[in-house]
Amino acid sequence: VIKMAQYKGAASEGNRAMHMQKRRDKAKEQMEELKAKIVNENAIKSNIHNKFSTHYDAVEAELKSSTVGLVTLNEMRARQETLIQERQKQIAMSNEAVLKSKKEQVKKKERSRKIAALSFAVDDEDDDQEEEEEIVLPKKPKKNPDVDTSFLPDRDREIQEKELKEQIRKEWVEKQERMKNEEIEITYSYWDGSGHRRKVKMKKGNSIQQFLIKCIEQLRTDFSELRTAGVEHLMYVKEDLIIPQYYTFYDFIMTKARGKSGSLFQFDVHDDVRLVGDATVEKDESHAGKVVLRHWFEKNKHIFPASRWEPYDPEKKFDKYTLTSD
């Protein structure tokens, strides 16, 4: 038996039916919410009606009891108005009584709160007085003047020491500033393969860069290659060490720095031969520093004396001087 495949419709039809069902469910929920809202509103209205109807039922009962027999319409209306006014007065008086009782309750609570606060304050004062009466200050023991108390902390002594340290620091700073402003005469040699000595006066606080600027001004008229050169094109070589331009002469003087072939803190030229029997004592020598064009150094750094030159390293120590030519 051959069974035919059952046609179930396209997928879009199923989706459409699902969306329609969702819309129906949503509309049903909205309808239920609307019904509940209407029921609540009706309940509220009925409560309001009951409140007002109670008042008018009482008035109607009194009117019936007071108008027994035949009365005219005007008399009945007058009696009704009188009863309504009396009823309203009673309601107003009852409301006033309720408000008055509430106000009295609030006042009573306020008075009781104030009384409680005052009682606590009085208790605290009594306690403080009792504590003051009970506290007895101990007698301060007398110090023995013969005992050494210098090791103990003393605020006055610490203040004096601090002031003394600050005074010493200021004096030291002033001394260093005076030293930086002192003038020194520096002998240098412009090196282009041979030495050309010159002298220039600088302050100890001046930097190597400031020194090289003065050297250019002094040498420019005599050497044509320096006429277009700037300070960045020059090097300062002292005791076979290439000195960076940001150092000052004061730095080398204070640290007593030494180079490969002599001291870095002496900028004149001299030989101090010490006449002592100990052969291990060195000669105190100072050689003229060299001002060199970087271009010349790069071109001749494989040739003596440029082959000995190396950048200055403050961490590197030279215990023995080695010979070099000037």
pTM recorded for the entire structure = 0.45
The 10s digit of each residue's pLDDT in 84-93 is 777 777 777 7
The mean per-residue pLDDT over the stretch 273-288 comes to 47
Q: 281 falls in which pLDDT band (50, 70, 90)?
A: very low
The answer to whether the beta carbons of residues 312 and 245 sit under 8 Å apart is: no
Q: pLDDT of 74-117, one tens digit each?
A: 776 777 777 777 777 777 777 777 788 778 888 888 887 777 66
DSSP 162-223: HHHHHHHHHHHHHHHHHHHT-EEEEEEEEESSSEEEEEEEEETT-BHHHHHHHHHHHHTTT-
**84: buried, middle or exposed (CB in 10 Å: 19+, 13-18, 0-12)?**
middle
pLDDT tens-digit profile of 201-214? 999 899 999 999 99
Cross-strand pairs, 263: 258
Q: Give CA–CA dist 298/303, Å, rounded.
A: 10
Which two tokens mark 300?
Answer: 């001749």
For residues 160-175, give the mean pLDDT: 90
Q: What is the per-residue pLDDT across 124-167, written as a single tens digit (0 to 9) for each?
A: 555 555 555 555 566 666 666 777 776 777 788 888 888 999 99
pLDDT value for 15? 82
Could you tell me the CA-to-CA distances from 29 to 36, 41, 177, 195 in Å, in that order? 11, 19, 93, 108
Q: Which pLDDT band, with edges at 50, 70 and 90, does 320 fall under?
A: low
Among residues of the chain, what percentage have pLDDT more than 70? 68
Q: Checking phi first, is residue 193 left (phi over 0); if not, alpha (psi -120 to 50) or beta?
A: left
Q: What pLDDT does residue 66 have?
A: 60
Whole-number Å distance between alpha carbons of 49 and 45: 6
The 3-state DSSP class for residue 140 equals: coil
Rounded to whole angstroms, the Cα distance separating 89 from 261 reads: 124
Retrieve residue 216's tokens: 């250019």
Taken in order of first residue, the domains within the chain and their CATH numbers are: 31-63+77-106 (no CATH), 175-274+282-311 (3.10.20.90)
Instruction: From residue 201, give the alpha-carbon distance in Å to each of 21, 120, 264, 267, 288.
Output: 104, 87, 17, 11, 14
Does the pLDDT value for residue 272 go beyond 50?
Answer: no
- The answer on pLDDT for 49 being more than 60 is no
Q: What is the DSSP string of 232-243?
A: GGEEEEETTEEE
User: Are the C-beta atoms of residues 197 and 179 closer than 8 Å to each other?
Assistant: no
Do the beta carbons of residue 297 and residue 235 sit within 8 Å?
yes
- The 10s digit of each residue's pLDDT in 59-69 is 566 656 665 55
User: Over the Cα atoms of the chain, what is R_g?
Assistant: 57
* Mean pLDDT value of segment 53-59: 54
In the three-class reduction of DSSP (H, G, I as helix; E, B as strand; rest coil), residue 290 is classed as strand
Tens-digit pLDDT profile for residues 13-44: 778 888 888 888 888 888 888 888 888 777 76
Who contacts 205 (Cβ-Cβ below 8 Å, separation ≥6)? 179, 180, 181, 248, 249, 250
| pLDDT at position 319 | 64
Rounded distance between C-alpha atoms, residue 298 and residue 242, angstroms: 13
Does 119 score more than 60 pLDDT?
Answer: no
pLDDT above 70 (res 326): no
